[in-house]
Amino acid sequence: MAFNQVGEFWLAPGQSTRVHIALGGLVNEAEWGGQDFGAQWIMADGIGINPVRLMVSEHTKEKKPIRLHPGSPSPIVYSVTVTNIGNELAHFSIQGGGNV
């Protein structure tokens, strides 16, 4: 499943942030998360005309506990760390998708 232009983030040079995404949220579940879409790659996508140099690392897929509806699928959260390795303030969104 592909996704583009998720969120809007700013990072100063040398700073990093952890970004979490849940795809296809689960209804009436206490834990925040979404459906399991298998392997998903998350990238930072620069916004605007300024140069942006971002590094992504620490890709994770977290399977959370089911709290309200035993027997239903576990909530899944995909995460990545984004670091601004450039010399200017970085403005970016998130994009990505699964293995083909």
Q: Taking the model in full, what pTM does it have? A: 0.84
Q: Taken in order 79, 21, 38, 29, is the CA torsion positive or negative?
A: positive
Question: Hey, which residues does 97 pair with through a beta bridge?
Answer: 41
What pLDDT does residue 38 have? Answer: 85
What pLDDT does residue 85 have? Answer: 97
How does pLDDT run along the chain (100 residues), one tens digit per residue? 778 888 899 999 999 999 998 877 666 666 677 888 888 899 999 998 888 999 999 999 998 877 676 777 788 899 999 999 999 999 999 998 887 6
What pLDDT does residue 81 have? Answer: 97
- What are the residue ranges spanned by the domains of the chain? 3-98
